């Protein structure tokens, strides 16, 4: 295949979009779609290679194809996985809890299924992400590389090289991907995002384009005998390419991960835009020249290494470690990433692709040794790493076990209670549960108290004046998580409390402004979320007890209060959210409000500082202390509601 600099430029553009998205820039909220562009480009190039080989030789040598893919992908990825595993010796991160399984899944080219079945949506990378979470896309491509050549070789052999038959098969497979997305999108967006059978459509769009161009041009670029007809099409290709580039740029700027249409055929629609870029990149014209500019081309040359190493670098080089603002932090992360990626390309990727092999060690033995080494590192190193200090580990596992053990022995009229809310509810749930067990008044049977997710779903949050993050996709799955908790542990009473994630600024999907809960637009969105949560609990036959939240003081206990802490701590924000809670209670029977926020706010300041050292979360000890007041209030509220 001839070398086309513009294709490397397209790689550079796509990886730049991903870098900006992972950098947390709000104006690059759709940059994750750069991965989809990689999918389509990969499908195009791989299919072009396979068709070219079949036309030249009459068959496809699968062993050689797979060997080339392994030489291209395995060395750098194995090196990255080994480095990530070794980092556990020197760091203390929350993601170390799952590192062993994550690395092994990545090495076995099954990371997408690992994260799907482990219920870790891609959006969680901004809160508790794995350093190899980005390997989900590499896994899909690698699975494609193993299976697709078999399909291609079989179809071309049976159809005697017919492009029409081959294209029809690819079109049918794209239809399967589309139907799968339409079926799963309304109920499980995480499946659409991670599953191979839903994402393969984006790769197959590129594959189908390769078939069409080979039929029209006689190759990936026009053959000498077809240059004249290709010239007639170059104007059309350039016009389509410009529109496709504008559409891609718009998507990188606007399409958030929580956008629902994206999971109902939208990813495939975006793949069409990516495919529209390719013909214009292959023929002379303005888009070809734009994508061939040297900085973009050079970034594309090392794009594989950039993608491999950037996310672990972004996790380890964070604001807490280096104390830089978002722009300077991104610059530092980018410099470190490019240095590692360039070294990988020069000393690992390029020599091996060029045919380097050690004189005394056979290449199969070297590859096997590399895989074995990564497995050893992945399995052994996390066991000797320091235990992570996860503030969200369940500190009440013993309480839960005790509650389950004595539930049947307690009085039949002791209510079974579930707790729902954010991280501020975790300690409160444990404190009230211990109070209930000590007094024989109630039994804690379950619920869902997950950190990092407010009731307002989708869009972006802004806290401390400048920290902008997309709302994790996992937060949009609250209805499924709550339903699973309710089905697993039926109860009598649901205790619910909102938290600080609902009082900071939000930019809801389709809006162009960040708004506090005092703003009518965001207040309406928050009210609808509170109402939907309440209706879900009522539909399961529970009495709903809403706790008003106390005022929040961001930065309490810190030597230097972060910028924007006073704005985020404005009591009017909490008052607005609590007013919505009271409104929901007025509109639904079976719902009672306990003025927990008022109780805490009326305490002396020194008492509140002792109970909530960070200005928002209770400790295990203080939660048990306030439970002496809160427990009876919950019981009285539940009784009055019935």
The helix/strand/coil state of 603 is coil
Q: What is the sign, positive or negative, of the torsion defined by CA atoms of 74, 80, 85, 86?
A: positive
The pair of three-digit structure tokens given for residue 619, joined into one six-digit string: 């400790």
Q: Are 29 and 254 in contact (CB under 8 A)?
A: yes
pLDDT in the model for residue 90 = 73
The helix/strand/coil state of 378 is helix
User: In the chain, which residues have pLDDT < 50?
Assistant: 384-396, 409, 411
Measured between alpha carbons, how far is residue 577 from residues 454, 455, 572 in Å? 12, 11, 9
Residues 358 and 75: their CA atoms lie apart, in Å, by 14
Strand partners, 468: 462
pLDDT in the model for residue 283 = 87
Question: Quick one: DSSP state of residue 516?
Answer: -
Q: What is the sign, positive or negative, of the torsion defined by CA atoms of 565, 568, 570, 571?
A: negative
pTM score, whole prediction? 0.66
Q: Are 140 and 39 in contact (CB under 8 A)?
A: yes
pLDDT in the model for residue 223 = 55
The number of helices, as runs of H, and strands, as runs of E, in the chain is 28, 8
The pair of three-digit structure tokens given for residue 151, joined into one six-digit string: 């399909």
Superfamily of domain 397-641: SGNH hydrolase (3.40.50.1110)
Q: Are 438 and 488 in contact (CB under 8 A)?
A: no
Residues 200 and 205: their CA atoms lie apart, in Å, by 9
Burial class (CB in 10 A: 0-12, 13-18, 19+), 161: middle
Residues 182 and 172: their CA atoms lie apart, in Å, by 15
Q: Are 94 and 320 in contact (CB under 8 A)?
A: no
Residues 272 and 266: their CA atoms lie apart, in Å, by 10
Measured between alpha carbons, how far is residue 61 from residues 47, 52, 58, 66, 204 in Å? 14, 12, 10, 9, 21
Residues 235 and 603: their CA atoms lie apart, in Å, by 73
pLDDT in the model for residue 386 = 40
Strand order of the β-sheet with 460-463 is 467-470, 460-463, 505-507
Residues 309 and 248: their CA atoms lie apart, in Å, by 25
Domain(s) of CATH 3.40.50.1110: residues in the chain:
397-641
Q: Are 443 and 437 in contact (CB under 8 A)?
A: yes
Query: How does DSSP assign 146-211, residue by residue?
Result: HHHHHHHHHHHHHTTT-HHHHHHHHHHHHHHHHHHHHHHTTT-HHHHHH-HHHHHHHHHHHHHHHH
Query: How does DSSP assign 334-346, residue by residue?
Result: HHHHHHHHHHHII
Nearest to 505 by CA among 547, 560, 553, 456: 456
Residues 280 and 287: their CA atoms lie apart, in Å, by 6
Residue 73: phi and psi, rounded to 5, are -105, -40
């Amino acid at each position: 295949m001839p070398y086309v600099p513009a294709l490397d430029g397209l790689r550079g553009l796509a990886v730049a979009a991903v870098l900006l998205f992972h950098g947390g820039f709000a104006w690059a909220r759709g940059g994750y779609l750069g991965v989809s562009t990689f999918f389509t480009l990969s499908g195009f190039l791989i299919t072009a290679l396979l068709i070219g080989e079949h036309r030249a030789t009459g068959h496809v040598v699968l062993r050689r194809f797979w060997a080339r893919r392994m030489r291209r992908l395995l060395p750098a990825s194995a090196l990255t996985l080994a480095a990530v595993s070794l980092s556990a010796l020197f760091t203390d991160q929350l993601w170390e809890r799952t590192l062993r399984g994550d690395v092994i899944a990545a090495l076995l080219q099954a990371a997408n299924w690992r994260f799907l079945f482990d219920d870790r949506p891609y959006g969680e990378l901004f809160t508790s992400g794995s350093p190899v979470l980005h390997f989900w896309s590499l896994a899909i491509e690698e699975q494609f590389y193993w299976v697709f050549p078999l399909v291609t070789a079989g179809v071309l052999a049976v159809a005697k090289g017919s492009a029409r038959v081959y294209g029809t098969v690819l079109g049918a497979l794209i239809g399967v991907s589309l139907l799968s997305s339409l079926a799963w999108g309304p109920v499980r967006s995480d499946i659409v995002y991670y599953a191979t059978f839903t994402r393969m459509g984006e790769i197959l769009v590129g594959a189908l384009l390769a078939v069409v161009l080979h039929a029209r041009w006689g190759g990936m670029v026009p053959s000498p005998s077809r240059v004249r007809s290709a010239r007639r099409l170059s104007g059309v290709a350039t016009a389509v390419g410009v529109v496709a580039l504008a559409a891609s740029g718009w998507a990188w700027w606007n399409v958030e991960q929580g956008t629902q249409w994206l999971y109902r055929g939208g990813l495939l629609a975006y793949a069409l835009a990516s495919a529209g870029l390719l013909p214009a990149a292959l023929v002379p014209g303005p888009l070809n020249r734009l994508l061939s500019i040297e900085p973009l081309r050079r970034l594309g040359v090392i794009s594989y290494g950039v993608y491999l190493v950037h996310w672990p670098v972004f996790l380890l080089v964070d604001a807490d470690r280096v104390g830089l603002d978002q722009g300077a932090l991104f610059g530092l992360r980018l410099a470190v990433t490019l240095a590692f990626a360039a070294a990988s390309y020069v000393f690992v990727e390029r020599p091996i692709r060029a045919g380097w092999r050690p004189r005394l060690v056979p290449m199969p033995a070297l590859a096997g040794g590399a895989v074995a080494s990564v497995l050893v590192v992945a399995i052994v190193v996390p066991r000797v790493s320091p235990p992570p200090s996860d503030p969200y580990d369940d500190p009440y596992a013993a309480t839960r076990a005790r509650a389950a053990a004595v539930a049947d022995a307690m009085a039949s009229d002791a209510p079974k209670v579930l707790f729902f809310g954010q991280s501020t509810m975790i300690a409160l749930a444990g404190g009230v549960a211990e109070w209930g067990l000590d007094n024989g008044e109630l039994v804690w049977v379950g619920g869902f108290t997950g950190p990092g997710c407010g009731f307002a779903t989708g869009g972006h949050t802004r806290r401390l004046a400048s920290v902008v993050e997309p709302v994790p996709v996992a937060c949009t799955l609250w209805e499924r998580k709550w339903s699973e908790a309710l089905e697993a542990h039926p109860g009598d009473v649901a205790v619910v409390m909102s938290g600080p994630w609902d009082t900071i600024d939000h930019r809801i999907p389709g809006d162009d402004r960040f708004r506090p809960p005092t703003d009518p637009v965001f207040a309406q969105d928050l009210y609808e979320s509170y109402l939907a949560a309440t209706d879900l609990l009522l539909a399961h036959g529970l009495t709903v007890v809403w706790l008003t939240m106390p005022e929040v003081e961001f930065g309490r206990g810190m030597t230097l209060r972060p910028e924007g802490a006073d704005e985020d701590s404005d009591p009017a924000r909490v008052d607005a959210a609590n007013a919505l809670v009271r409104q929901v209670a007025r509109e639904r029977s079976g719902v009672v409000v306990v003025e927990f926020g008022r109780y805490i706010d009326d305490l002396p300041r020194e008492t509140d500082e002792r109970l909530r050292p960070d200005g928002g979360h209770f400790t295990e000890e203080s939660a048990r202390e306030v439970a002496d007041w809160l427990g009876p209030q919950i019981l009285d509220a539940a009784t009055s509601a019935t």
